[in-house]
Chain A
Amino acid sequence: MTVLAFVLLAAAQPDLAIEHARIHTGDGHKIDDGTLVVRGETILAVGASAEVRVPDGARRVDGRGLWVTPGLVDAEALTGTVEVTQEDSTDDSGLDGRYDAIRAAFSVLDGLNPRSVLIPVTRIEGVTTSVLVPHGGLVSGRQAVVRLAGDSAEAMVVRSPAAIYATASGPGRAAAFGARGGVMLRLRELFDDVRQYARRRQDFERNQMRKVGASRLDLEALIPVVEGKLPFVVEAHRASDLQAVLRFAREQKIRLVISGGEEGWMVGKELAAARVPVIVSALPDLPREFEALGARLDNAALLARAGVQIAISPREHDGPFSRTLRLEAGNAVAHGLPWEEALAAVTRTPAEIFDVGALLGTLAQGRSADLVVWSGDPFEPLTRPRQVFIRGREIPLRSRQSELRDRYRDLRVARPRP
């Protein structure tokens, strides 16, 4: 079936060759005069122009003066799950405070709207893949990796569940009755319950097991986490919180990922030794809370220098900021992160953290043809995306915003009476 679909697609669409461009593959390689060939949904070849053969009949794009990168991957986004942040009726990113602190089985994918206006707005800025994040409670729910194209959640999803998300920060502490100790207490009890449940499902069904602190589906959802198969993403910022979560992960032998980590630079060596990746924003540098007194602009650079695997994300909470991902990366570079590492932090690394690195996040033969052609350095605000491809398909650079722009671009013509 897949093969047939592939053949049909390949037949419907000629090969594509982007020639003589500056290609950054996302895994640290730069090709000054490179050519990339796409067949159907995948990359057929990428390399020096002198070495890549362009198939007959291919659609040729003159890439001279242009840059090509993998489509950007936002490691923590709300795209398609929230339409208007402050209109609760449009927010499906998480359960509200009436629900219990543990919502591990909640899936963001169930609320994903493929027709969200945020999707075109975000992807025409070069973001082709989003790791959707649930919000609320202590253990907020299942994350999903989705491509920003497709007319159904099924068509968009790359991997779900891709991780379970929890927060030891604000809402997590509130849900755990307001103290850091409450967060750790509840997590330990929960993971203990999950292990018990996994061993004694039948006793659980017969009501012959001690009382547990989470619903059956929540316990089920966490089994791959306690087995060390599925990443457990924990938002935490204060250095001591990061150490506490590291301790917990060591005890539980789980795959931990830190989200936020604004004081991460203080414990970089410990994070690196534990091989725990960190999803950071490049912008926080204020003591915005007592848990982030040490926030600083070179956090990403210092973490990378300590050997920590980092992904960069705007970590949007208050509004649709995913489209600013490339500028986040640029700001990390301005504050010391090497350029290629910043590109990896918005392409390859988030793909690897969420186990989709074999499919996307780098430009290599056989990878999904998710890529962006830029007018120049993608991290520069003066640069514009010229072409965006998702699974080999060129995405029209249109959005609700461009419709509004075009309606009002010439007020002499279209002027409605003021």
Chain B
Amino acid sequence: MRAAVALVLFVACVHRQPAAPPAAPAVAAAVREAAAPPVAIVHATIWTADPRGTRLQDATLLMRDGRIAALGKVEVPAGALVVDAGGRVVTPGLIDAHSHLGVYASPEVPAHADGNEATSPNTAEVNAEHSFWPQDPGLTRALAAGVTSLLVLPGSANLIGGRGFAVKNRPARSAAAMRFPGAPYVLKMACGENPKRVYGKKAGPSTRMGNIAQVRAAFGAAQDYWRKWDAFEKKGRAKGDLPPPRDLRLETLAEVLRGRILVQNHCYRADEMLLMLDVAAEYGFQIRAFHHALEAYKIADVLARRGVAVATWADWWGFKLEAFDGIPENLALVQAAGGRPVVHSDSAIGVQRLNQAAAQGLASGRAMGLPLTEDDALRWVTLNPAWVLGVDRQTGSLEVGKMADVVLWSHQPLSVYALPDKVFVDGHLAYDRAGVARPSDFELGLLPAEGTP
């Protein structure tokens, strides 16, 4: 039901509204949160990850109705659940800006290979939401690692791989129910080796110039499509004309041109990122973030000036030639240039250590003398990825009014020994290390009881 409402409103928004994000889920979220009692985490060391890097000592964080109701010296209301942090660190929930959880689910068998619609280099019409399996055991592992939101993307086989969507990491029975309320859709694009490898022996592209030509052709067609629909909305509809034929592929690209879908571009090399910026300028769209972007440090000044985020790893590199120039200081150099670095995972294993990856990036930057703070590094896995998802007004930092996505850590979160003790999503205790983790349906009954130590 909720899904149906969301879909209707979204379609309406696509064709009639000016560039506002889809409005549907506010109602849905309210329904979902009504039952949650207020929760107060007391005696906490709060790393807010807000833009000023505010920290609060021996503070209280109050969550009510799925939101952060108060921070600091707070009267704990009667009836609230009280969690004594005993000085432990509290941070915003972590956010992975590049995930294939649910679309490349565990176990990694062919039956679960739902991430790449590798039948055409442009499949803008597909939507990761329609591949997403909410029972992927990887989601439970990510939750136990403090990850409360994820951007689920199609793979990078295609130049234009399709729509991705943001999820809140709470167990649910459908993708729609996990969808991040109010988050815009994104479009996954890819440069470089992958598309030309996948299509080189088919109909192409087989070269980088072929890649770019096909992307330009696709956005050129989208411009025509947009014009036709515009003409229909401005004149034709009133005259009673039939609407132009609907084309899901072109519709997604037209939404990109209208600025309502955020482009997430898999691209490793500096020169290719610059090329893609040229293409984006030619057709009038923005690239929200380059993903992987191992050579971002070579053009950190340009990326900062253009307001393009850099979502990358701390220590993956060298597995293919376009990844050969990756360096551990990439995140730090992007930060130092005034850009927006983001630690992403692209991995069901890596997503479980985003905090450690941020620490690695911080240490590498400090070792070369860059004046970075722990709060900078924390933002690489919270507020900055929230911006990449287009939800930084809703989550990503601990500020009054934002979603109550909160992690209580066993140790300071940049330590290898830090594990989330408790994870709250929308004010609900979604994970408790002291309790029994809720397995996905897939894992129920898999191991016999006598296998337990």
Give A residues with C-beta under 8 Å from B: 84-87, 118, 121, 239, 265-266, 268, 283-290, 293-294, 302, 318-321, 323-324, 327, 330-331, 333-334, 379-384, 401-402, 404-405, 408-409, 411, 415-416, 418
Among A285, A289, A320, A401, the residue within 8 A (CB) of B327 is: A401
30 A/B residue pairs, CB under 8 Å, sorted by A: A86-B319, A87-B320, A265-B453, A285-B141, A285-B352, A286-B137, A286-B348, A288-B108, A290-B107, A293-B443, A293-B446, A294-B446, A319-B316, A319-B318, A319-B319, A320-B319, A321-B315, A330-B417, A331-B353, A333-B416, A334-B418, A379-B416, A382-B359, A382-B414, A401-B326, A401-B328, A404-B327, A408-B333, A409-B329, A411-B300
Among B138, B327, B357, B414, the residue within 8 A (CB) of A405 is: B327
Q: Does B109 contact A (CB under 8 A)?
A: yes
Q: Provide the residues of chain B in CB contact with A383, threshold 8 Å.
A: 363
Complex CA gap A233/B103 in Å reads 34
Q: Does B290 contact A (CB under 8 A)?
A: no
Complex CA gap A260/B111 in Å reads 24
Known contacts: A285-B352, A288-B107, A408-B333. The answer to whether A84 contacts B138 by CB under 8 A is: no
Residue of A nearest to B299 (CB): A418
Complex CA gap A283/B302 in Å reads 36
Q: Provide the residues of chain B in CB contact with A405, threshold 8 Å.
A: 297, 327, 329, 333, 368
Can you list the 4 inter-chain pairs with the closest CB atoms, starting with the nearest? A330-B416, A319-B319, A381-B359, A86-B320
How far does the Cβ of B38 sit from chain A's closest Cβ, in whole Å?
31
Known contacts: A287-B137, A288-B107, A293-B447. The answer to whether A320 contacts B325 by CB under 8 A is: no
Complex CA gap A195/B324 in Å reads 46
A85 near B349 (CB under 8 angstroms)?
no
B318 near A294 (CB under 8 angstroms)?
no
B363 near A381 (CB under 8 angstroms)?
yes
Known contacts: A334-B417, A415-B301. The answer to whether A384 contacts B363 by CB under 8 A is: yes
Q: Provide the residues of chain B in CB contact with A289, threshold 8 Å.
A: 107-109
Complex CA gap A294/B447 in Å reads 7
B416 near A327 (CB under 8 angstroms)?
yes
Complex CA gap A411/B141 in Å reads 40
Q: Provide the residues of chain B in CB contact with A331, threshold 8 Å.
A: 353, 356, 416
A286 near B337 (CB under 8 angstroms)?
no
Complex CA gap A379/B298 in Å reads 30
Q: Provide the residues of chain A in CB contact with B418, threshold 8 Å.
A: 334
Q: Provide the residues of chain A in CB contact with B352, threshold 8 Å.
A: 283, 285
Q: Provide the residues of chain A in CB contact with B141, threshold 8 Å.
A: 285-286
Q: Provide the residues of chain A in CB contact with B108, threshold 8 Å.
A: 288-289
Among B137, B319, B363, B419, the residue within 8 A (CB) of A382 is: B363
Q: Provide the residues of chain B in CB contact with A288, threshold 8 Å.
A: 106-108, 348
Encoded as 1 (CB less than 8 Å from any A CB) or 0, chain B from 217 to 244 comes to: 0000000000000000000000000000
Residue of B nearest to A267 (CB): B451
B349 near A284 (CB under 8 angstroms)?
yes
B451 near A266 (CB under 8 angstroms)?
yes
Among B363, B415, B453, the residue within 8 A (CB) of A302 is: B453
Q: Provide the residues of chain B in CB contact with A384, threshold 8 Å.
A: 363, 367
B138 near A286 (CB under 8 angstroms)?
yes
Complex CA gap A293/B363 in Å reads 35
Which B274-325 residues have C-beta < 8 A from chain A? 274, 297-302, 315-321, 324-325
Residue of B nearest to A381 (CB): B359
Complex CA gap A265/B299 in Å reads 47
Complex CA gap A317/B436 in Å reads 33
A294 near B109 (CB under 8 angstroms)?
no
Which one of A85, A118, A327, A382 has the highest number of Cβ atoms from chain B below 10 Å of its Cβ?
A382
B274 near A418 (CB under 8 angstroms)?
yes
Among A266, A287, A333, A415, the residue within 8 A (CB) of B417 is: A333
A287 near B107 (CB under 8 angstroms)?
yes
Complex CA gap A321/B319 in Å reads 10
Q: Provide the residues of chain A in CB contact with B106, threshold 8 Å.
A: 286-288
Known contacts: A289-B107, A384-B363. The answer to whether A323 contacts B348 by CB under 8 A is: no
Q: Provide the residues of chain A in CB contact with B300, threshold 8 Å.
A: 411
How far does the Cβ of A10 sit from chain B's closest Cβ, in whole Å?
33
Q: Does B189 contact A (CB under 8 A)?
A: no
Q: Provide the residues of chain B in CB contact with A321, threshold 8 Å.
A: 315
Complex CA gap A84/B447 in Å reads 38
How far does the Cβ of A315 sit from chain B's closest Cβ, in whole Å?
12
Q: Does B362 contact A (CB under 8 A)?
A: yes
Encoded as 1 (CB less than 8 Å from any A CB) or 0, chain B from 404 to 419 comes to: 0000000000111111
